[in-house]
Structure 1
Amino acid sequence: MSDIQVARRQRRWHIAVFLLPALIVYTAIMIVPLAQTLNLSLFHNDAQNAVHFVGIENFRTLFVEPRWAAQFWNALRNNFVFFLIHMVVQNPIGIALAALLSIPRLPGRAFYRTAFFVPTMLSFVIVGFAWKLILSPIWGVTPSILGAVHLKWLFAPWLGKESSALITVALISVWQFVGIPMMLIYAALLGIPDEVIEAAEMDGVVGPSQFWKIKLPLILPTIGIVSVLTFVGNFNAFDLIYSAQGALAGPNFSTDILGTFLYRTFFGFQLQLGDHYMGATIATVMFFIILAGVCAYLFLIQKRMRRYQF
């Protein structure tokens, strides 16, 4: 063994030293609570409050028994709709904004970049309460604004109608978080080497066609990451719906998602007592849904995605 290999092997302990603090913190606040939640989902208490191991019985109860199944499947369906609205509306808008901001001669580019990103730094409570006031049919400004342009007939109590409440809350979330995909994709566009752009211009590929034929294929890995982050964030969502619609996610649970369903189940609400075991079961299902989505992307999509190396 050469002296260089010996020296490299002797320096490897530095890796463990630097990783250890982060590993300890991550284990304490993520791994241990996750393991406890998974374990808690396998137990339940009886009428005498004695705890028993029940295996997957809690999951059968959640999926099948009418008392739980109706609320669970409703929340899961709403969660998928909430996610799809973000994928169809938020991410394409983020791509379009990033493409516009990457135009070198765009005036006020720094101002627009900041303005679009600022809502992501606002509190969920502020955003939910503010939009609830804006859209209120009693004291909101939306009816007045629409009336000023003779479009008041379009106004409806969108947050108060079962048919539109979930879409409205999802669009509010899109407004708040569109800056994140915008900035990620904008950074990816700026990372494209000038040589590639110059070569495209020499071949006559300019304007919108340059974005579709050259830039978009190069940023597909970033768009994939944005999609995964959107999936994880939406299936962990809770704060905005809680602040705008309350724990009951009204009207009539039309905006109820897995996060609000978990909150009511685990901690209880009003006259409903909390059930830690069923709450842990819902949290476990959420974990496996997110895990399945991320694994599907990593093993089915990312492997087949064409990679570009510069």
Structure 2
Amino acid sequence: MKLGFSWRVLVFIAPALLIYATFSALPLLDTLRLGLYSADDTGLRTFTGLANYNTILNDPQWSASFWNAMGNNLKFFAIHMLVQNPVGLLLAALLSLRNVRFAATYRTIFFLPTLLSVVIIGFVWQLILSPLWGVSERLLTLVGLGDWFAPWLGLESSALITVSLMSVWQYIGVPMMLIYAALIAIPEDIIEAAVVEGASPWRIFWQIRLPLILPTLGLVTILTFVANFNAFDLIYTVKGAVAGPNYSTDILGTLFYRTFFGYQSQVASPTMGAAVATIMFLVILVGVAVYFLAVQRKLQRFAM
């Protein structure tokens, strides 16, 4: 019986394992392998060990671009953590309150941008923020803030922040819905008991609701981390592969694209591109490992 059950389970999971191995595991392993090789002008590859990684991290020609992209990626992630997730928490808390009129409509409106194409999002926001034909300057002038307007996407000091906020606007519905689902799953008996004890809504949120959804907040954090360090499409759509101005919006995803496929004067190097992709994988792996080994354990002890 046990043997037959094992074979039946294998039959059902075999297609999923085959698809995962073909499209995820094997390409990942091949990328890790390719990063250990170097190619000459003829395309002949030779095993060089960690030479590509030493070049990326220490060679002045490569390290400046890599550390610039890494720093921008950290800023990109920080903006999402400081803006997207707190606002998502606030929206979820408001929409989970009783007797909120049109709550379903609001949830749909906030989540709708997530379903739109990144190309559409980038194009629309470029039109809105354009100094030539955009409407943002006129709207700011109508509310008395016309002096604040600037070509934010064209300035090195503000381009990354602007693109990050565009990404926040598009994906804020994801943390909102995850947190909202966690809030409405809290047993009503707990909330009613706190109300009977005379607790205010503010105290109920901070001392009851928020601690109970900490695992969900941790999940939102790690999903934000993974998504941000895999980001590429929005910046490529808005600023191109060069990630201008002057690489001020360059992140690991765009650096990998230019390195692997080549762009303008930069010659394509699949082996160096594989090394960049491997570093991206290791950064994400370390971040996820830290979360599960440190944060998740503390949350489990807190729940017990």
- Partner residue, 1:230: 224
Distance in 2 (alpha carbons) for counterparts of 1:206 and 1:8: 56
Pairwise CA distance, 1:104? 1.5
Aligned AA (1:44): S
1:295 aligns with one of 254, 277, 289: 289
SS of aligned partner of 2:224: helix
Distance in 2 (alpha carbons) for counterparts of 1:9 and 1:194: 45
2:278 aligns with one of 284, 287, 293: 284
Pairwise CA distance, 1:16? 1.8
SS of aligned partner of 2:248: coil
Aligned AA (1:101): L
Q: What is the root-mean-square deviation in Å for CA atoms of aligned residues?
A: 1.2
CA-to-aligned-CA distance 1:200-223 (integer Å, 9 cap, x gap): 222222312111110000000000
Aligned AA (1:170): S
Distance in 2 (alpha carbons) for counterparts of 1:201 and 1:131: 45
CA-to-aligned-CA distance 1:117-172 (integer Å, 9 cap, x gap): 00001111111111111001111000111112221101000000000000110011
- Partner residue, 2:145: 151
Which residues of 2 match residues 1-310 of structure 1 at below 5 A?
7=1, 10-305=4-299, 306-308=301-303
The answer to which of 188-197 and 27-36 deviates more is 188-197
Pairwise CA distance, 1:8? 5.3
CA-to-aligned-CA distance 1:173-206 (integer Å, 9 cap, x gap): 0000000000000000111112211222222223
SS of aligned partner of 1:253: coil
Pairwise CA distance, 1:308? 3.5
**TM-score, length basis structure 1:** 0.95
After the TM superposition, which parts of structure 1 deviate over 3 Å for at least 4 consecutive aligned residues?
A: 7-10, 306-309
Distance in 2 (alpha carbons) for counterparts of 1:102 and 1:74: 41
Distance in 2 (alpha carbons) for counterparts of 1:212 and 1:17: 48
SS of aligned partner of 2:46: strand
Distance in 2 (alpha carbons) for counterparts of 1:146 and 1:199: 47
Pairwise CA distance, 1:48? 4.3
Distance in 2 (alpha carbons) for counterparts of 1:135 and 1:120: 20
The answer to which of 42-51 and 189-198 deviates more is 42-51
Pairs aligned (count): 303
Distance in 1 (alpha carbons) for counterparts of 2:63 and 2:270: 17
Aligned AA (1:308): A
Pairwise CA distance, 1:20? 1.4
Pairwise CA distance, 1:99? 0.2
CA-to-aligned-CA distance 1:245-272 (integer Å, 9 cap, x gap): 1110000000000000000110111232
Distance in 2 (alpha carbons) for counterparts of 1:9 and 1:258: 47
Distance in 1 (alpha carbons) for counterparts of 2:41 and 2:150: 47
The answer to which of 18-27 and 94-103 deviates more is 18-27
Aligned AA (1:78): N
Aligned AA (2:212): L
Pairwise CA distance, 1:284? 0.1
CA distance 1:161–1:54, change in 2 (3 Å) = same
Distance in 1 (alpha carbons) for counterparts of 2:104 and 2:44: 61
